[in-house]
Homo-oligomer: A and B are copies of this chain.
Amino acid sequence: MRVVRMGTQTVNLLYPPGIVSSATIVGKKEAEGPLGEYFDEVMPDSLWGEKSWEKAECKMFQQAAEMALEKANKKPTDINYLFGGDLLNQIIAANFAARALEIPFYGMYGACSTLVQCLSLASMLIGSGCAQCALCVTTSHFCTAERQYRFPLELGTQRCPTAQWTVTGAGGFVLHENSSGPYVTHVTTGKVIDFGIKDISNMGAAMAPAAADTINAHFKDTSRTVDDYDLIITGDLGRFGGVLAEELLLKAGHDISGKHIDCGCEIFSIKQDVQAGGSGCGCCAVVFGGYILSRISDSTFKRVLLLSTGALLSPVSSQQGESIPGIAHAVCIQKDR
């Protein structure tokens, strides 16, 4: 037996795949933030030599994938599956990069929850023996996200305090069945949760209930508590959403406040004028791939619960009066088996 189902939403991988390598690419603003030193590459500008921001985002995806492969000393032909996604309509950054990579490809869409969705599926396929090696990549770009979801950048529209700043960044991860770790030991898959938030400038509030629901499910399924983790990391709830998730979990009997960080809060300093913090598929990818994995490597953290959280809206759904549901997936990552 290689896998054990626990409770209703969790799988325990008895032969946990290891994260062999990670590669991170960020924009200038992200590099100027408090975690700047942890990222592998910094784009000189938002176009990176391309003719459009969308093409630059595609290049970020591809370069993060290639850098992760190189660090893992793997060729594309060594990889059984590429799991990837982004925030663009029809995930064109991922699709066009996958064309160049020539690896069997599954396109994912979970909004900002996509990174852990990719890590979850890759880990389950490797842990269960369906694959030996997989590559997970997600990306987001401030300029493409703004113009697709919100306003043309040229308008200079004022942002409200609860708004979040889409991170320009891409993270790539190679997972393998044989590795010296860190290991993905548990996968907790989230449900779509909706508390009726309709404010498209307050994604943190829309995603917080999903994050709380998945963390709660993980604790219930595994009979673990906050004490079993050195750190609980949410993807991009931001300053307001993060507090809301903590409050919801406190009501459920779990005080995570002393051990919780949010990638959206870590990547920028308050001085950088990013309102409630960072967001996007790339936010969690670069903070986890850069900062967190470094701190696991130096044994600062030995076991963490990583969540990425997605707001499942589109401009069309909001214009049609829909609220904003959220989803969050979690993986337990630990330094040693």
Contacts and interface: CB of A to CB of B under 8 A. Distances in A.
A183 B81 CA distance: 23
A190 interface: yes
Contacts of A127: 130
Interface size class of A (residues with CB under 8 A): 35 or more
Interface in A95-114: 95-96, 98-99, 102-111
A99 B313 contact: no
A51 interface: yes
Contacts of A312: 90, 92, 95-96, 99, 107
B107 A5 contact: no
A277 interface: no
Given A129-B3, A130-B3, A99 B320 contact: no
A160 B280 CA distance: 39
A106 B130 contact: no
Interface stretch (A40-48, A117-125, A239-247): A117-125
A320 B5 contact: no
A11 interface: yes
A108 B105 contact: no
Interface in A296-329: 312-317, 320, 322, 325, 327
Contacts of A108: 106-109
A192 interface: yes
A191 B102 contact: yes
Contacts of A128: 2-3, 124-125, 128-130
A216 to B, nearest CB: 14
Nearest to A125: B124
How many copies of this chain? 2
Nearest to A95: B312
Contact of A189 (B92, B106, B124, B325): B106
A327 B189 contact: no
A143 interface: no
Nearest to A124: B130
B327 A90 contact: no
A88 B314 contact: yes
Contact of A109 (B3, B5, B107, B322): B107
B313 A92 contact: yes
Given A92-B314, A98-B191, 5 more contacts: A91-B109, A96-B325, A106-B110, A108-B108, A128-B128
Interface of A: 1-3, 5, 8-9, 11, 51-52, 54-55, 77, 80-81, 85, 88-92, 95-96, 98-99, 102-111, 117, 120-121, 124-125, 127-132, 189-194, 312-317, 320, 322, 325, 327
Give me the 3 closest cross-chain CB pairs, A-B, nearest first. Answer: A128-B128, A104-B189, A90-B314
